[in-house]
Amino acid sequence: MAGEVSDHINQRFFVAVHVGAGYHSPVNEKALRSAMKTACLAAASVLRTGSGGCADAVSAAIETLENDPCTNAGRGSNLTEDGDVECDASIMDGSSGAFGAVGAVPGVRNPIKIAALLVKEQILGSSLLGRIPPMFLVGEGARVWANSKGINIFETIEKANEWLITRKAKEQWKKYKAMLDDAKAEITLVKSSSSHQQIDNSSDKGEDNIMDTVGVICIDKQGNIASGASSGGIALKVSGRVGLAATYGCGCWASSNVGCCVSGAGECLMKLFAAHQCCISPLLSHAGPVAACSKVLESVIEDNSDTSAGFLLVQAEAPLVGPGSSRELKAVEIAAGFTSLSFGIGYFGNSMDHPKVSILRSTKQDNTRDICQFAALVNLSSSPIRYH
């Protein structure tokens, strides 16, 4: 019996997470690393035991990131120009191609739960009277739908904001709102250089400036992949704005053997279908994930040299074990590419003793948008040696 339990709880899996591209203050690095470790372990608990699929694991991991006030997702999100929290989230299941997303949804603790339920309903097929299940819901409609499906939400948006809005986010909003009001006043009087100041606190070394999005990619024992993203959006965004994390092909993508999550300046990256482009890159087959990331990032820089972005890409090796058998996850290659000052990533697999997490930092000495890279090949064929 013990042997059976041991086999059951040690199924092969892999998890990769990120906590956004931008600038991550060293003051907050410990909290961000802890958040990534928690996310990795949450996904692993689903995949290791086989208690859920890849999309379930993605949702479990992102829920922990949404609940952690140090990330720009769920609690602690950037505020809109009106001072509210409106979240975006999405999940894509690589095996079925099912995609679920919510955009600019207010008053919800975990928007990723709504995205996950949308994916499940698509996989199950047509609902009552043959109506096509929705793929993308926005605003108050998404909140009402979630409530009708039994997802626990706050009674009112006001009560939700009491939990979602942190003191740090409120102080940042006050600072940026004052800048915006001053700029509007200047424009009213005369166009001047002072009206061109940008909302960017990357020079303030005590504060984070995370552009957008957290993301997770999960792979199960058979090599099936799902990916997801969640975000509070850019600081001082217009109410109703839907960003990268909810947009099809942009914030996340998953197929039969590759998954990608993207973070950064949403409007610029959405035009390029960034996550999708990484996953269909011909470079994947002969040059690998790093080259695929770099190629798309080069396109981002060509389109707008000031764009800050971070890509996380995972490619799975899961060959067929034998004739008529299913695939078996053997190894993964993980790659990250970014043009921002920093990019927080982490990963964990069944062959590892514990998650590896890091805040990758750019070594560039000027304002050029050079592409920084990270890559690792992880063999999942063996389990870590444990001593008792």
Q: Determine the pLDDT at residue 80.
A: 95
| Residue 77 is assigned to a structural domain of this protein | yes
Beta-strand relationship, 99-106 and 136-138:
parallel
Question: By CB neighbour count within 10 A (0-12 exposed, 13-18 middle, 19+ buried), where does 207 fall?
Answer: middle
CATH assignment at residue 247:
3.60.20.30
Q: How many domains does the chain have?
A: 1
315, 303, 236, 171: CA torsion to nearest 10: 70
Task: Name the strand (E) or helix (H) holding 335.
Answer: strand 331-338
The answer to the question of residue 90 being in a domain is yes
Within-domain flag for 388: no
Q: What's the half-sphere exposure (Cβ side, CA atoms, 13 Å) at 330?
A: 7
Specify if 176 maps to a domain: no
The pLDDT tens digits for 42-55 are 999 999 999 999 99
Q: β-strand 86-93 against 342-349: which pairing, if any?
A: unpaired
Is 50 exceeded by the pLDDT of residue 201?
no
> What stretch of H or E contains 90?
strand 86-93
What residues have CB less than 8 Å from 212, skipping those under 6 apart? 20, 21, 22, 72, 231, 233, 234, 243, 244, 245, 263, 264, 265, 266
Q: Is residue 384 part of a domain?
A: no
Active site residue ranges: 213
pLDDT band at 10 (very low <50, low <70, confident <90, very high): confident
| Averaged pLDDT, 214-234 | 97
Task: Say if residues 78 and 232 touch (Cβ distance below 8 Å).
Answer: yes
Residue 66 domain boundaries: 10-165+202-379
Q: For 321-344, how does the pLDDT look when each residue is reduced to its tens digit (9 = 90+)?
A: 777 778 999 999 999 999 999 999
Kindly state whether residue 67 falls inside one of the protein's structural domains.
Answer: yes
Q: For residue 193, what are the contacts with CB-CB under 8 A and spacing of at least 6?
A: none
| Residue 82, in any domain of the structure | yes
CA-nearest of 277, 279, 291 to 225 is 279
What is the distance between the alpha carbons of residues 131 and 335, in angstroms, rounded to a whole number?
40
User: Where residue 385 falls among pLDDT bands split at 50, 70, 90?
Assistant: very low
**Of all helices (H) and strands (E), which one includes residue 144?**
helix 139-148
**Which of the pair, 45 or 286, is modelled with greater confidence?**
45
Over residues 197-208, the mean pLDDT reads: 51
Q: How many CB atoms lie within 10 A of CB 12?
A: 24
Is 66 inside a domain boundary? yes
Q: What is the pLDDT of residue 203?
A: 42
Residues 101-117: pLDDT tens digits? 999 999 999 999 999 99
